């Protein structure tokens, strides 16, 4: 139903008035009007106000009864907009985001626009005046927020208040005729040239009186007094025209126009839907480690590696918490198959002591619903999640929907797998690549049955303390499958999140986000030049961010790029800064702190890959490189300036050197808890070997900085203070500072 302003008649009043007139005047049956014509005529007659003696009649608010009808002011092309009106844009609770719309009226009359935010219960929580950013295209913009930022975890008592705010919010764009600005524009000209001055000023006095009496303007008593006093001065013919006009053309009246305008012909858009999701749905810091490597050691007697367990993995939790991460992500912890088990570095034949890949899931010991006995049992896993929660960490579990030839499903449900012409089950392959240790699932024979089993398994791990699932290769399964599974799981456990590990085409990525994948792996590791990064920052933090929440990972067990390989400690620092500051959600694969950057020849992955063997690490060496301390600093900056982070508030800054990248994150003062703007400026030297200098342009008014005083910039990495103006010199060297992360200090 359209939202109607008080100036407009209610639908039942329109019908009553029209019916009453028809009853008095009807002498004989008249030709019946079409429904649309009748509604339009009734609304026009009922909404039309009496013509004022001084000036034109104010624009009426015309009731909108059908989705295709326009109001008195035209509102179109609102962004973001759900595809086919089905899939709403997604934002995290308290995340700043931007809406735009075309708002216009006929002729040269001026218009204004207001964005109104309502929670799932229909209560208005925010009303923001929009700004015209392109008059030629009638484009208006506003930065909004649904609810307040929170760090409450699903298991904490504070989460109950968070939960009540989640769901579908709406934003309505209200276009309106700006009678004050239209009048002022003409009055200034007429007073200046002495043309029809009395009529112009009389109209202005009447307009201010009407403004003072407007309920929609929500004026305080002192504001109404300001307007009526100004109207009296304008109407005083004993004063000079310039003096009379000045009573309505000054800073006080301009401020009232900005905050409490006279809005004629208010025309609301249809409500735009936004799905508001829980904390950490998009603003999160991930840390990945393999439990079997945590606490692993060499047995001097046997000369063999003793792998870690879920109990020894508590050290990994402690390390993640100390570095300020929010989420610990574990690879599959299920039994590993024996048939065709892979050896070190993906060798086709495993040695007698090779543990195999945890992605070759399932053995005679169990499948996806079983803890690998070499790691422990379900009680050990529950103890791990309980300790994680004590440390403020969420546990994310990898769920790879594939099976080893030894998985129980192979015997229990052979119809769930693809078969060759000779009747044997086909292992996975992407010619010429072959994955002999994995059987892919065939969804065509019994997708409902597979869905039911997967839902059972996910719920089992949720009950054990998992709040997030990282799904391996979801793009190789039907989108409808994930849509059904995620809907079923989140209906019972709405706090559960899903991350898509999908490196694939844009259409598939968007579809996965539509059906419930809250975050996504992405192509950040391969964006390394200034031009590539600038383009990708805007892609990630633009309109696409309303659906696909890219998570920036410098490396993963599957990815080790040439940049990380070739740029040493400085390169690791650069990529960490870009990941932590470039996206609200980022992640680190452990070993990054130890500069593990040797590639397997011919592949963009690490040699001696942890997916195929147990790694013994000397964590006492982490302090030698400083990367662990940097990770902690980056997460501290993110926490202390959380209000600067969102998928829609990145702006690129112009720099004079092709190796110096600069960008800013900015949230306006009106949307922060302190009432001050929250701005971070990131400047990075992308060259891991050479120093570079550049001039960085800082458009101060765009960041609510008064050019008269300049900007007080505090480097959050070093604590040093700088004074910035329009153009600013920076110098960064890989052996000293690879980056500045400036906080704009507002006293």
Q: What residue numbers does the annotated binding site cover?
A: 342, 402, 437, 473, 611-612
Compute how many other C-beta atoms are within 10 angstroms of the C-beta atom of residue 575: 28
Task: Name the DSSP class of 238.
Answer: T
Phi-psi region of 458 (alpha: psi -120 to 50; beta: other; left: phi over 0): alpha
596 is catalytic: no
Pairing of strands 394-399, 468-472: parallel
**Angle between the N-to-C axes of helices 221-235 and 197-212, in degrees from 0 to 180, rounded to the nearest 10:** 160
Show Cβ contacts of residue 220 under 8 Å, excluding neighbours closer than 6 positions: none
Give the 3-state secondary structure of residue 663. Answer: strand
Pairing of strands 89-92, 272-277: parallel
For the chain, the maximum distance between any two Cα atoms, rounded to a whole number of angstroms, is: 112
Task: Name the DSSP class of 145.
Answer: -
Q: By the 8 A CB rule, do 262 and 210 touch?
A: yes
Show Cβ contacts of residue 126 under 8 Å, excluding neighbours closer than 6 positions: 115, 116, 117, 144, 145
Binding site as annotated, residues for alpha-maltose 1-phosphate:
342, 402, 437, 473, 611-612
Give Cα 254 to chain centroid, integer Å.
34
DSSP for 310-342, please give it: TTTTHHHHHHHHHTT-SEEEE---S-B--TT--
> Of 472, 593, 704, 716, which residue is the catalytic one?
472
> Of 501, 593, 605, 737, which residue is the catalytic one?
501
715 is catalytic: no
d(CA 479, CA 308): 36
Say how many residues make up the chain: 747
Token pair, residue 543, equals 């309109």
Alpha-carbon distances of 161 from 30, 40, 156, 360, 409, rounded to whole Å: 59, 45, 10, 41, 42
Q: Residue 582's closest CA among 529, 610, 629, 541? A: 541
Write down the H helix ranges in 584-626: none
d(CA 476, CA 478): 7
**Tokens 């992500």 label which residue?**
329
Residue 40, φ and ψ in degrees, nearest 5: -65, -45
d(CA 202, CA 231): 9
Show Cβ contacts of residue 370 under 8 Å, excluding neighbours closer than 6 positions: 334, 335
**Tokens 């050896």 label which residue?**
343
d(CA 266, CA 114): 10
Which residues have a catalytic role annotated?
472, 501
């Amino acid at each position: 139903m359209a939202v109607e302003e008080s100036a407009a008649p209610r639908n039942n009043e329109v019908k009553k008035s029209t019916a009453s007139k028809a009853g008095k005047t009807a002498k004989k049956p008249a030709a019946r009007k079409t429904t649309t014509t009748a509604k339009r005529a009734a609304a026009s007659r009922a909404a039309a106000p009496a013509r004022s003696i001084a000036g034109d009649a104010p624009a009426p608010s015309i009731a909108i009864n059908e989705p295709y009808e326009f109001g008195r002011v035209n509102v179109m092309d609102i962004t973001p907009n759900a595809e086919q009106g089905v899939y709403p844009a997604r934002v995290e609770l308290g995340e700043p985001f931007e809406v735009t719309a075309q708002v216009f009226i006929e002729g040269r009359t001026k218009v204004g626009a207001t964005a109104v935010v309502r929670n799932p219960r229909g209560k208005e929580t925010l009303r923001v005046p929009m700004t015209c950013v392109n008059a030629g295209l009638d484009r208006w913009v506003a930065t909004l927020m649904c609810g307040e930022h929170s760090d409450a975890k699903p298991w904490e008592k504070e989460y109950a208040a968070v939960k009540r705010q989640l769901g579908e919010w709406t934003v309505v764009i209200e276009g309106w005729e700006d009678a004050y600005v239209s009048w002022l524009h003409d009055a200034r000209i007429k007073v200046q040239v002495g043309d029809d001055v009395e009529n112009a000023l009389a109209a202005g006095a009447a307009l201010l009186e009407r403004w003072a009496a407007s309920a929609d303007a929500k004026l305080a008593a002192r504001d109404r007094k300001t307007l009526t006093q100004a109207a009296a001065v304008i109407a005083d013919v004993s004063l000079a025209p310039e003096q009379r006009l000045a009573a309505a053309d000054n800073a006080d009246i301009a401020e009232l126009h900005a905050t409490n305008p006279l809005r004629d012909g208010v025309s609301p858009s249809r409500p735009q839907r936004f799905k508001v999701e829980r904390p950490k749905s998009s603003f999160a810091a991930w840390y990945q480690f393999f439990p079997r490597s945590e606490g692993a050691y060499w047995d001097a007697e046997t000369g063999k590696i003793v792998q870690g367990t879920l109990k020894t993995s508590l050290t990994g939790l402690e390390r993640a918490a100390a570095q300020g991460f929010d989420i610990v992500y574990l690879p599959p912890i299920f039994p590993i198959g024996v048939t065709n088990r892979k050896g070190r570095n993906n060798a086709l034949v495993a040695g007698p002591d090779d543990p195999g890949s945890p992605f070759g899931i399932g053995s005679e010991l169990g499948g996806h619903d079983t803890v690998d006995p070499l790691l422990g049992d379900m009680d050990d896993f529950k103890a791990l999640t309980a300790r994680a929660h004590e440390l403020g960490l969420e546990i994310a579990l990898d769920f790879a929907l594939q099976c080893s030839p030894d998985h129980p499903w192979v015997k229990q449900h052979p119809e769930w797998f693809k078969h060759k012409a000779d009747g044997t089950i086909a292992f996975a392959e992407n010619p010429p690549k072959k994955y002999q240790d994995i059987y892919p699932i065939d969804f065509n024979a019994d997708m409902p049955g597979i869905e039911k089993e997967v839902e059972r398994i996910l719920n089992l791990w949720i009950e054990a303390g998992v709040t997030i699932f990282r799904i391996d290769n979801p793009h190789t399964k039907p989108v409808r499958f994930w849509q059904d599974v995620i809907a079923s799981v989140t209906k019972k456990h709405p706090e559960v999140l899903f991350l898509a590990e999908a490196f694939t085409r844009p259409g598939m990525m968007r579809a996965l986000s539509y059906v419930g994948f809250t975050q996504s792996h992405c192509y950040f590791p391969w964006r390394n030049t200034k031009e590539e990064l600038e383009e990708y920052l805007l892609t990630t933090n633009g309109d696409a961010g309303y659906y696909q929440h890219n998570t920036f990972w410098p490396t993963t067990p599957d990815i080790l790029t040439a940049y990380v390989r070739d740029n040493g400690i400085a390169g690791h620092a650069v990529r960490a800064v870009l990941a932590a500051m470039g996206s609200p959600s980022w992640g680190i694969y452990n070993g990054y702190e130890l500069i593990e950057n040797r590639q397997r020849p011919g592949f963009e992955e690490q040699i001696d890959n942890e997916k195929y063997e147990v790694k013994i690490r000397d964590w006492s060496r982490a302090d030698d490189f400083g990367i662990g301390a940097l990770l902690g600093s980056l997460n501290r900056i993110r926490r202390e300036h959380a209000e600067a982070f969102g998928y829609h508030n990145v702006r690129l800054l112009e720099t004079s050197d092709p190796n110096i990248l600069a960008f800013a994150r900015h949230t306006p003062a009106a949307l922060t808890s302190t009432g001050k703007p929250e701005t971070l400026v990131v400047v990075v030297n992308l060259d891991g070997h050479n120093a570079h200098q550049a001039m960085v342009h800082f458009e101060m008014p765009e960041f609510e900085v008064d050019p008269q005083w300049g900007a007080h910039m505090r480097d959050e990495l070093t604590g040093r203070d700088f004074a910035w103006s329009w153009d600013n010199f920076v110098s960064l060297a890989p052996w000293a500072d690879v980056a500045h992360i400036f906080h704009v200090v507002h006293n």
